[in-house]
Amino acid sequence: MSKRVWALLAATMVSLIYGVSFTIAKDVMPVYVQPFGFILLRVMGATVLFWGISVFGPKEKIALKDFPRIVAAALFGVALNMLTFFKGLSYTSPISAAVIMVTTPIIVMILSAILIKEKIKWHKIVGILLGLFGTGFLILYGKSVGNATNAMLGNLLVFINAVSYGFYLIVVKKLMDKYNAFTFVKWIYTFGLLMVLPFGWNEYQAIQWQNIPVTILWEIVFVVVFTTFFTYLFNLVSMRELKPTTVAVFIYLQPLFATIFAMSLGKDHLTWVKIVAAVFIFIGVYLVTKKKS
């Protein structure tokens, strides 16, 4: 298989893991672990894993002038990204959060055009809009609205999260072109850990491990190992071969995979809305990932 096919598979795996994680994370939060405590747990676990696996990676030295970029990647890709999403989700309804999140590919497309002068082809614009329509359709008509305690603040925080992720994809692309992923990802998470520590420490200390059932402990392990560690690695694999705009469009698959997983557990059922939405999403992703001959 070509490197591009591997990159597309890696990006699909990220969406699949995130889609499954929506259901799993709901089992853990907020009953057993509070949101910021969970973020600290995720970042701490992933930092240990990345430092451990880096022993087997190539022995490269990071230039001192690249550390500000690594700190920026930690801010946009770990700290700001995770904290604003979890906090925003606690204030707004899941439906509003999901609708705002799917604007990410459009934000990335605009930022890529401005910051790295990426030329946006017409089929990518059509693909992003089709995917946006399909995902919006799935979210608006496929799920219940839910409660919102402070919708305006929550929606703003989720939007900041979407913009933050867009900046991260662009910032990390330059590092990918220069170093092997194992060389710098451990540093991104180390700086990210220092950033989330003040926000999550109290909630982390409040975790009552002795009261957590074994099934929930395994779900916490899944979130740390797969949703944090592996998704970050897969994302970096896809970033090496694909443009930020292409990587971002895979976010459209997340609500689709989340719905499929929920249906497999009997928590959701198939409707014509979901079928139509799936068709639009897959056509959109195909158009964006299609390489011009």
Which domain covers residue 180, as residue numbers? 3-289
Q: Which residue has the higher pLDDT, 5 or 288?
A: 5
Structure tokens at 105: 């590919």
Peptide bond into 30 cis (omega under 30): yes
Number of domain units in the chain: 1
Q: Is 146 left (phi over 0), alpha (psi -120 to 50) or beta?
A: left
Min mean pLDDT across 60-74, 133-147, 225-239 is at 133-147
Q: Is 173 left (phi over 0), alpha (psi -120 to 50) or beta?
A: alpha
Q: How many CB atoms lie within 10 A of CB 209?
A: 9
Summarised one tens digit per residue, pLDDT across range 243-273 is 888 888 888 787 778 778 877 877 667 778 7
3-state helix, strand, coil in the chain (%, to 5): 80, 0, 20
Summarised one tens digit per residue, pLDDT across range 95-137 is 666 667 777 888 888 888 888 777 778 888 888 888 888 877 7
pTM here?
Answer: 0.80
Summarised one tens digit per residue, pLDDT across range 5-52 is 999 999 999 989 988 887 787 788 778 999 899 999 999 999 999 999
Instruction: Place 200 in a pLDDT band, splitting at 50, 70 and 90.
Output: very high
